[in-house]
């Protein structure tokens, strides 16, 4: 397992030595995660459906066959020479592993969940923390991670997405509206649910971390809907707990929040996550100031720009993000969220080129 305790770039080796001999993508990532400068800013956008289309596969196969998933992501990453690989599927893997029924509308669609599994803390008695090696499609992500590690070795940074953080998982298990109401009306009981959801995320994350990835990501985008005070008091302690436990495996932990996370950016950093993935609604320069010395940042080119900008306009937007975020290191270039599937090749290649044009350190 290539974890924080087994880095390809030992902490005592100066970054200048790596720059002199030519850094690998993996080394760039680890330096960024250590809040140091590499030879250039690493670039690792998150792609899902676009990789499937490029491979010529069907969505259903991608979400159910670890070889198809790994092949799609590896081929796409290698074709455009990105520094990081993203092993990810959909947002209902934990729900399904806990006994939820999912539906694929057709072979070319994402799956979606059907009915809530719980309505109160008492319902947890009928659930149990699933075994990630056999539950639902968790084994798909685990095996895809293992394939990617075997194929790429230590050439590129492998980041595996384990789906949802505790509060976002609770919102899926209960239904969003019901979960938000329950949080207000029964906060103590909601904490029981969040504690259970934390154990699910930890079990899944540990299983993934043992398969050779370098980083584990979880998303907590639902957190922005409950306000800073409730997030800090009720949900944040469980995000911090998940981060702490997953960091014990030796991998880097990434926390992803879609939308405007400005009100909780300091709390996100206080979870201890190695890297925060932030959306374009947040000023990257401001986020850098707020989190300085505590965590790396990954982001945050507007995903709409991938579809609406000319190449020159898009490069200008990338330059602005890189210029604001790269000083002192600790930055990974990415979109604010998943890059749209319809993004054309010229824009994807420009995204990679932007790191060379504007992301050099020395």
Antiparallel, parallel or unpaired: β 275-278 and 157-164: unpaired
The share of the chain scoring above pLDDT 90, in percent, equals: 93
Average pLDDT over residues 198-224: 97
Closest by CA to 118, choosing from 194, 187, 226, 185, is 194
Binned at pLDDT 50, 70 and 90, residue 154 comes out as confident
Domain ranges of the chain: 22-358
User: Which residue, chain included where needed, has tokens 């906060």?
Assistant: 187
- Return d(Cα 12, Cα 321) in angstroms, integer: 30
| pLDDT exceeds 70 at position 16 | no
Confirm if 306 and 347 have CB atoms less than 8 A apart: yes
The share of the chain scoring above pLDDT 70, in percent, equals: 94
Dihedral of CA atoms 10, 14, 16, 18 in degrees, nearest 10, equals -10
Can you say whether the dihedral through the CA atoms of 131, 133, 139, 141 is positive or negative?
positive
**Continuous segment of H or E residues that includes residue 91:** none
Distance of CA 279 to the CA centre of its chain: 12
Q: 66-78 as b/e, with b when 16 or more CB fall inside 10 Å?
A: bebbbbbbbebbe
Write down the pLDDT at residue 15.
Answer: 54
Write down the pLDDT at residue 153.
Answer: 78
Confirm if 256 and 336 have CB atoms less than 8 A apart: no
| pLDDT exceeds 90 at position 17 | no
Mean pLDDT for the chain overall: 93
Q: What is the DSSP letter of 92?
A: -
Confirm if 304 and 314 have CB atoms less than 8 A apart: no
Binned at pLDDT 50, 70 and 90, residue 14 comes out as low
Average pLDDT over residues 277-283: 97
248-275 pLDDT tens trace: 999 999 999 999 999 999 999 999 999 9
Confirm if 331 and 297 have CB atoms less than 8 A apart: yes
- Residue 191: partners with Cβ closer than 8 Å, 6 or more residues away: 234
- Return d(Cα 90, Cα 64) in angstroms, integer: 11
Q: What is the DSSP letter of 340?
A: P
- Please give the C-alpha separations between residue 263 and each of 16, 102, 272, in angstroms, as whole numbers: 37, 33, 17
Inter-axis angle of helices 345-358 and 66-80, to 10 degrees? 60
- Return d(Cα 105, Cα 11) in angstroms, integer: 49
66-86 pLDDT tens trace: 999 999 999 999 999 999 999
Phi, psi of 116 (to 5 degrees): -60, 150
CATH 3.30.70.260 holds for 22-358 = no
Q: How many CB atoms lie within 10 A of CB 80?
A: 17
Report DSSP letters for 4-69, one per residue.
GGG-SS-TTS-HHHHHHH---HHHHHHHHHTT---SB--B----SHHHHHHHT--HHHHHH-HHHH
Closest by CA to 269, choosing from 249, 239, 245, is 239
Write down the pLDDT at residue 5.
Answer: 34
- Please give the C-alpha separations between residue 252 and each of 190, 221, 296, in angstroms, as whole numbers: 28, 19, 11
Beta-sheet strand order (sheet of 331-335): 84-87, 157-164, 215-219, 252-257, 275-278, 296-301, 331-335
Confirm if 166 and 173 have CB atoms less than 8 A apart: no
Inter-axis angle of helices 284-291 and 311-325, to 10 degrees? 20
Write down the pLDDT at residue 2.
Answer: 38
């Amino acid at each position: 397992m290539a974890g924080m305790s087994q880095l390809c770039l030992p902490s005592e080796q100066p970054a200048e030595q790596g720059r002199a001999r030519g850094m690998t993508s993996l080394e760039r990532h680890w330096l960024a995660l250590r809040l140091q400068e590499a030879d250039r800013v690493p670039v690792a956008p998150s792609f899902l459906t676009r990789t499937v289309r490029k491979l010529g596969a069907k969505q259903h196969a991608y979400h159910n066959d670890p070889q198809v998933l790994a092949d799609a992501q590896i081929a796409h990453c290698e074709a455009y020479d990105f520094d990081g690989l993203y092993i990810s599927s959909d947002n209902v893997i934990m729900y399904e592993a806990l006994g939820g029924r999912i539906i694929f509308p057709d072979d070319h669609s994402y799956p979606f969940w059907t009915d809530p599994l719980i309505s109160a803390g008492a319902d947890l008695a009928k659930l149990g923390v699933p075994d990630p090696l056999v539950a639902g499609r968790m084994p798909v992500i685990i095996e895809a991670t293992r394939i990617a590690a075997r194929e790429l070795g230590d050439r590129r940074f492998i980041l595996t997405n384990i789906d949802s953080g505790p509060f976002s998982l609770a919102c899926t298990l209960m239904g969003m509206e019901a979960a938000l109401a329950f949080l207000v009306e029964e906060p103590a009981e909601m904490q029981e649910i969040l504690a259970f959801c934390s154990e699910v995320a930890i079990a899944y994350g540990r299983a993934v971390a043992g398969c050779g990835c370098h980083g584990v990501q979880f998303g907590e985008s639902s957190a922005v809907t409950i306000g800073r005070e409730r997030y800090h008091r009720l949900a944040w302690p469980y995000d911090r707990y998940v981060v702490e436990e997953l960091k014990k495996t030796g991998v880097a932990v990434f926390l992803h929040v879609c939308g405007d996370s400005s009100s909780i950016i300091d709390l996100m950093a206080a979870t201890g996550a190695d890297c925060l993935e932030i959306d374009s609604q947040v000023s990257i320069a401001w986020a850098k100031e707020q989190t300085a010395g505590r965590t790396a940042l990954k982001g945050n080119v507007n995903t709409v720009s991938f579809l609406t900008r000319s190449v020159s306009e898009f490069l200008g937007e990338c330059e602005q993000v890189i210029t604001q975020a790269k000083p002192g290191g600790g930055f990974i270039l990415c979109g604010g969220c998943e890059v749209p599937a319809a993004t054309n090749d010229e824009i994807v290649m420009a995204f990679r080129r932007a790191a060379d044009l504007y992301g050099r350190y020395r």
